[in-house]
């Protein structure tokens, strides 16, 4: 086999890097012209931020190629279509901020928005024992007063609404545990709500204030106070990604089920060897936008330099898991919060279930589960989480035989969203990790978007793309 034959290049690119470095480097001349894709921008990951970036760049007449490892766009956005009823149910991303970036994006795809539907009766149970827990919910007045105090606190740091742009030096108010801020500012009424609005963050009372504020930030607080969040009227957030997918495929701008196996990143542009279902392609792009979680293991094929390894190596993350389950034995309209009888604010211990609540599909409930922080990319195994979900439901049934039926719960769908909420610890935040991460923007033609650089919040990510990342990236294109 000739060393420059495409198959040789594929084999070489699949070998671990020490071996690869002794083999001939891939060169554009080793790829058949039909296997070379030349674009203004290559985007890694076609979830919330990658898809938004691709569509925005396409609308600005820039050529793009999205490399997505799965066979569909959407990332954490997932929608189940019930074959029996035809009903759609989102069990990933649910709601959005009512603001122009969001409204314009959905309008572009002609997808109607409406009010989120929260129908259901609330109940509090301890999934670890199955027993009901007495929880006193804060009054509407206390919630409103808490939101005002928190908004006044956040207003001191307006740049946080644009990204992880922290003052230098980083004030202790931003690195202290969120639980300490609660006591200092008087935010007790907000804790249970924020535990729900920021699922998958880890232990919310210990998390640095600024990490909680990524999602529970001024933007969301204002939306909550005004009760103005929006959702897709057809309860099908995947419709946006389906339409974007069709459009990008039509424009030869999307490689699904594809993965970068080797890269060279230079100031003059990037070259990516991409394994696709149609063979190995060479992508040449002026700029690269990476939107996948920047875990060092996930970026192994991206030609990371020492500085990038060091910064990303400090990040921790969380396991967050979502499922639709039938035969739970609980009434369809019951929203069950997992509460503990003896913890501050009755917050459930993690790892554990957050909630199990109604869906549009009769007999099917949505259940969400979270881990504690971890250095591991995948903190818990899927089998462990599935087992814990089912065991929790069975405990509810056993302890409440008068209310719930003893049935055998069955998974309709299950998804691990790990690694989720990739974040930094207080010492690293104080030492300036977010300045270091922001300083990576543009280095060796590479730009970074996605939740780690902004928030696990699609509205915030689209604004981040529009206002911060894409203007930088488009300069000189
Ligand atoms: C259950 C759940 C509910 C949520 N609810 C809401 C909500 O109501 N409102 C809200 O605003 N936000 C919500 N979020 C948060 C929202 O999902 C995130 O804010 C958003 O999806 C993050 O976007 P992203 O682009 O960073 O990552 P993702 O959307 O995860 O996109 C990353 C993409 O990269 C792909 N990928 C990974 N590795 C590779 C690789 N090596 N090569 C190529 N592609 C790769 C993935 O398959 C994925 O498609 C929710 C999240 C979850 C999990």
Q: Is 198 in the pocket of ligand 1 (CB under 6 A)?
A: no
- Give yes or no for residue 1 having a pLDDT over 70: no
Q: Which of 51, 75, 359 to mutate to test the pocket of ligand 1 (most atoms within 8 A of CB)?
A: 75
- Give yes or no for residue 2 having a pLDDT over 60: no
- Give yes or no for residue 7 having a pLDDT over 90: no
Q: Is 99 in the pocket of ligand 1 (CB under 6 A)?
A: no
- Give yes or no for residue 476 having a pLDDT over 90: no
- Give yes or no for residue 317 having a pLDDT over 70: yes
Atom number, ligand 1, closest to the C-alpha of residue 452: 26
Query: What DSSP state is assigned to residue 349?
Result: P
25 Cα–ligand 1 center, Å: 34
Q: Which two tokens stand for residue 195?
A: 């535990």
pLDDT in tens, 428-451: 999 999 999 999 999 999 999 999
Q: Which two tokens stand for residue 383?
A: 């089998």
Residue nearest to atom 40 of ligand 1 (CA): 69
DSSP codes of every residue in 107-157: HHTT--EE-----SEEEEE-TTT--B---PPPPHHHHHHHHHHHHHHHTT-
Atom number, ligand 1, closest to the C-alpha of residue 459: 11
169 Cα–ligand 1 center, Å: 31
- Give yes or no for residue 73 having a pLDDT over 70: yes
- Answer with the residue of higher pLDDT: 335 or 28: 335
* Pairing state between β 420-423 and 316-326: antiparallel
323 Cα–ligand 1 center, Å: 16
> What mean pLDDT is reported for the chain?
93
Distances (CA, A) of 40 to 222, 288, 398, 428, 447: 37, 9, 59, 35, 13
394 Cα–ligand 1 center, Å: 30
183 Cα–ligand 1 center, Å: 32
Atom number, ligand 1, closest to the C-alpha of residue 47: 31
Report the C-alpha gap between 50 and 52 in whole angstroms.
5
- Give yes or no for residue 393 having a pLDDT over 70: yes
433 Cα–ligand 1 center, Å: 22
Q: Indicate the Cα dihedral angle 271, 62, 459, 70, nearest 10°.
A: -40
Mean pLDDT of 92-96: 97
48 Cα–ligand 1 center, Å: 6
- In the chain, what are the domains? 31-75+237-314+424-474 (3.50.50.60), 117-228+316-423 (1.10.405.20)
Residue nearest to atom 26 of ligand 1 (CA): 450
Q: Is 69 in the pocket of ligand 1 (CB under 6 A)?
A: yes
320 Cα–ligand 1 center, Å: 11
Exposed e or buried b per residue across 142-170, where buried means at least 16 C-beta atoms within 10 angstroms of its C-beta: ebebbbeebeebbeebeebbebbebeeeb
Residue nearest to atom 46 of ligand 1 (CA): 75
pLDDT band at 4 (very low <50, low <70, confident <90, very high): very low
Mean pLDDT of 210-230: 95
Closest CA relative to residue 377, chosen from 445, 320, 461: 320
Mean pLDDT of 294-312: 97
- Answer with the residue of higher pLDDT: 361 or 14: 361
Query: What DSSP state is assigned to residue 280?
Result: E
Token pair 């495409």 is at which residue?
A: 6
Closest CA relative to residue 200, chosen from 316, 117, 80: 316
Mean pLDDT of 387-392: 98
Atom number, ligand 1, closest to the C-alpha of residue 455: 19
Alpha helices by DSSP H, listed for 209-305, are 209-215, 218-226, 238-250
Q: Is 460 in the pocket of ligand 1 (CB under 6 A)?
A: no
- Give yes or no for residue 22 having a pLDDT over 50: no
Q: Is 369 in the pocket of ligand 1 (CB under 6 A)?
A: no
50 Cα–ligand 1 center, Å: 9
Report the C-alpha gap between 104 and 55 in whole angstroms.
12
pLDDT band at 27 (very low <50, low <70, confident <90, very high): low
Q: Which two tokens stand for residue 418?
A: 């790990």
Q: Is 458 in the pocket of ligand 1 (CB under 6 A)?
A: yes
- Give yes or no for residue 413 having a pLDDT over 60: yes
Is residue 223 within 8 Å of 98, Cβ to Cβ? Answer: yes
pLDDT band at 120 (very low <50, low <70, confident <90, very high): confident
Long-range contacts of 391-396 (CB under 8 A, 24+ apart): 392/127, 392/128, 392/130, 392/338, 392/352, 392/353, 393/127, 393/325, 393/328, 393/329, 393/330, 393/356, 393/367, 395/127, 395/128, 395/129, 395/130, 396/125, 396/127, 396/130, 396/329, 396/330, 396/336
- Answer with the residue of higher pLDDT: 117 or 71: 71
Predicted local distance difference test score (pLDDT) of residue 459: 98
378 Cα–ligand 1 center, Å: 15
Q: Is 239 in the pocket of ligand 1 (CB under 6 A)?
A: no
Predicted local distance difference test score (pLDDT) of residue 30: 86
């Amino acid at each position: 086999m000739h060393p420059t034959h495409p198959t040789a290049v594929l084999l070489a690119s699949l070998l671990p890097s020490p071996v690869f470095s002794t083999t001939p480097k891939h060169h554009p001349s080793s790829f058949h012209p039909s296997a070379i894709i030349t674009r203004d921008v290559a985007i890694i990951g076609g979830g919330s931020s990658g898809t938004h970036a691709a569509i925005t760049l396409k609308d600005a007449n820039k050529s793009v190629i999205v490399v997505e490892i799965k066979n569909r766009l959407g990332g954490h956005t997932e929608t189940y279509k019930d074959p029996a009823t035809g009903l759609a149910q989102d069990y990933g991303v649910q709601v959005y901020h009512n603001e122009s970036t969001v409204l314009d994006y959905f309008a572009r795809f002609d997808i109607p928005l409406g009010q989120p539907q929260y129908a259901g009766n609330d109940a509090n149970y301890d999934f670890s024992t199955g027993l009901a827990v007495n929880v006193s919910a804060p009054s509407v007045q206390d919630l409103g007063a808490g939101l005002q105090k928190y908004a006044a606190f956040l207003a001191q740091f307006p740049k946080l609404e644009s990204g992880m742009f922290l003052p230098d030096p980083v004030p202790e108010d931003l690195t202290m545990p969120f639980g300490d801020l609660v006591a200092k500012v008087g935010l007790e009424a907000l804790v249970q709500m924020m535990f729900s609005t920021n699922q998958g963050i880890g232990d919310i009372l210990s998390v640095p204030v600024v990490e909680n504020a990524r999602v529970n930030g001024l933007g969301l607080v204002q939306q909550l106070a005004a009760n103005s969040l929006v959702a897709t009227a057809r309860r099908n957030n995947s419709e946006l990604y389906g339409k974007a997918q069709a459009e990008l495929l039509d424009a030869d701008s999307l490689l699904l089920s594809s993965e970068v196996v080797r890269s060279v990143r230079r100031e003059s542009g990037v070259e990516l060897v991409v394994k696709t279902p149609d063979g190995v392609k060479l992508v040449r792009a002026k700029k690269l936008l990476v939107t996948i979680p920047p875990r060092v293991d996930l970026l192994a094929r991206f030609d990371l330099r020492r500085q990038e390894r060091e910064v990303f190596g400090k990040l921790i993350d969380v396991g967050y898991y979502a499922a639709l389950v039938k035969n739970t034995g609980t009434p369809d309209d019951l929203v069950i919060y997992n509460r503990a009888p003896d913890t501050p604010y009755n917050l459930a211990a993690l790892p554990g279930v957050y909630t199990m609540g109604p869906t549009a599909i009769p007999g099917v409930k949505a259940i969400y589960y979270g881990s504690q922080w971890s250095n591991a990319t995948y903190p818990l195994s899927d089998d462990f989480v599935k087992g814990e979900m089912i065991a929790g439901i069975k405990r509810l049934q056993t302890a409440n035989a008068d209310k719930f039926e003893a049935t055998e719960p069955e998974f309709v769908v299950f998804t691990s969203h790990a690694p989720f909420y990739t974040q930094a610890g207080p010492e690293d935040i104080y030492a300036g990790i977010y300045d270091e991460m922001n300083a990576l923007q543009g280095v060796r033609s590479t730009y970074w978007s996605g939740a780690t650089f902004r928030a696990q919040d699609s509205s915030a990510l689209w604004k981040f793309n529009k206002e911060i990342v894409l203007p930088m990236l488009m300069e000189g294109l």
